[in-house]
Amino acid sequence: MAATIIDGKAFAAGVRAQVAEHVRRLAEENSIQPGLAVVLVGADPASEVYVKSKGKMTVEVGMHSVEHRLAEDTPEADLLALIAQLNADPKIHGILVQLPLPAQLNSELVINSIDPAKDVDGFHISNVGLLGTGQKSMVPCTPLGCLMMLRDHHGDLSGLNAVVVGRSNIVGKPMAQLLLGDSCTVTIAHSRTKDLKAVCQGADILVAAVGRPEMITGDYVKPGATVIDVGINRIERDGKKKLVGDAEFASCAEVAGAITPVPGGVGPMTIACLLANTLTACCRANDLPEPKGLTV
């Protein structure tokens, strides 16, 4: 069986186009421009690249983009003061503090200082609780992107068996909650799950988010299942650096009905959903209808 490749790059481009159209209409009909503020502390190379990409795409869809770059040794009080300032700024609808933070900063304290309504990463404890109880929340970007692609591929997810391999607060747990919300039967598995292979073999939807390069191989996959590979791992093979997922692509693609590649699968959807979340936050702040197809 040759798996259908779920092209996250193309899908993300479509999401950004939808966001841009909504942003254009907000400006024309309501004289409102969604605003996203990104805060980067220190000079982590990967974070630098990611923040630059976010800023570029924010501007491309017509949003107001603000970047705050702080020194590595920034005191916690200074960062919290900046977040308080952004919380109070009516032109800013989304706030994202780029992780990881330097060691002297308490990440949980910082994230939970963001106004939950502006928490476009969906990491604030209030949003975690709202999502877990099926209420309206800001949803973490990567799981939201996965759900969008699954809905597009399957249509109705109701009754499907879903296995999420990985229990992180950023991907695994919220992914499971979103799949439950779409009436899947959900199992959260992880590296210590007994007979993990057998658990995975029962999945109609298999989400690999365990953070181990190519851990999920083709013999873990139920024939015809959909494999969503969230992993982004940099490895060295044959003397060359390579980007691979948590699923071993070649063997999984031989068995699966559909699969996301790495790179070009889930990754591009994360920034696209960040923009979608900023748009959603703006609409909620102004008591306007939320954009259809871009929220849960």
DSSP 8-class letter at 294: S
How far apart are alpha carbons 231 and 10 in whole angstroms? 19
- Please state, in angstroms and rounded to a whole number, the distance separating the CA atoms of residues 130 and 133: 5
Residue count of the chain: 296
Report yes or no: 249 and 208 within 8 Å, Cβ to Cβ.
no
Give me the catalytic one of 18, 115, 118, 121: 121
Question: Is the CB of residue 78 less than 8 Å from the CB of residue 70?
Answer: yes
The CB-side HSE value for 90 (13 A sphere, CA atoms) comes to 2
**Catalytic residue status for 33:** no
In DSSP terms, which residues pair with 280 in a beta bridge?
Answer: none
Radius of gyration in angstroms for the set of CA atoms belonging to the chain, rounded to a whole number:
19
Query: 102: closest CA among 128, 77, 74, 67?
Result: 74
Which DSSP helix (H) or strand (E) runs through 14?
Answer: helix 8-30
For residues 144 and 124, is the Cβ–Cβ distance under 8 A?
no
- Measure the CA–CA gap between 287 and 91, rounded to whole angstroms: 15
Active site residue 54: yes
Catalytic residue among 54, 118, 173, 222: 54
> Is 91 assigned a catalytic role?
no
Residue 130: count of CB within 10 angstroms of its CB: 17
Q: Which of 18, 98, 115, 119 is catalytic?
A: 98
Find the farthest-apart pair of alpha carbons in the chain and give their distance in angstroms, rounded: 56
* Catalytic machinery residues: 54, 98, 121
